[in-house]
Amino acid sequence: MNTLVALCAVGAEKILGNEIKLLGYKLEGNAPGRVVFTGDDDALYRANLCLRTADRVYLQMASYTAQDFDALFDGVYNADWQLYLKKDSRVVVDKVRTHKSRLESEHSVQGMVQKAIYKKLGDVWHITTFPETGAESDVRVYIDQDVVQLLLDLSGLPLHKRGYRADIGAAPLRETTAAALLQMMMWRRKLPLHDPFCGSGTIAIEAALYAYNVAPGFGRRFALENLAVYDVRRAAEIRRQEAEKIRTDVTVRITGSDIDPAAVERARRNAEYACVTAGRALQSVGSDAKVLRPDFTQADFKELSAPYDTGLLLCNPPYGERLGDEHEAEALYKDMACLFTAFPGWEMGVITSHRKFQESIGRYASLLKDIKSGHLDTCFYIYNGTEKAHQRGEHGKRSDRGAGRSGWGGRRAADGTRGRGYESGRRGSSGRRLDRADSRRERDSDDFTF
DSSP 201: S
* Cα 413 to Cα 415: distance, rounded to the nearest angstrom: 6
| N-terminal to C-terminal alpha carbon distance within the chain | 24
* Cα 207 to Cα 407: distance, rounded to the nearest angstrom: 30
Each residue's pLDDT, cut to its tens digit, for the chain (450 residues) gives: 999 999 999 999 999 999 999 999 999 999 999 999 999 999 999 999 999 999 999 999 999 999 999 999 999 999 999 999 999 999 999 999 999 999 999 999 999 999 999 999 999 999 999 999 999 999 999 999 999 999 999 999 999 999 998 776 665 799 999 999 999 999 999 999 999 999 999 999 999 999 999 999 999 999 999 999 999 999 999 999 999 999 999 999 999 999 999 999 999 999 999 999 999 999 999 999 999 999 999 999 999 999 999 999 999 998 755 556 778 889 999 999 999 999 999 999 999 998 899 999 999 999 999 999 777 889 999 999 876 666 543 333 323 323 333 322 233 344 333 333 333 333 333 333 333 333 333 333 334 454
Helix or strand holding residue 31 (H, E)? strand 26-31
Provide the residue count of the chain: 450
Burial of 369 (0-12, 13-18, 19+ CB in 10 A): buried
**CB-based contacts of 71, cutoff 8 Å, min separation 6:** 64, 65
**Number of alpha carbons in the 13 Å side-chain half-sphere of residue 360:** 21
Q: Three-state SS string across 69-125, please?
A: HHHHHHHHHHCCHHHCCCCCCEEEEEEEEEECCCCCCHHHHHHHHHHHHHHHHHHHH
Q: Any bridge partners for residue 193, and if so which?
A: 254, 312
Helices (H), 144-286: 175-184, 202-211, 232-243, 261-283
* Cα 9 to Cα 379: distance, rounded to the nearest angstrom: 12
User: In this structure, are residues 295 and 182 in contact, taking their beta carbons and an 8 Å threshold?
Assistant: no
What is the sign of the dihedral through the CA atoms of 350, 354, 359 and 362? negative
Q: Any bridge partners for residue 92, and if so which?
A: 138
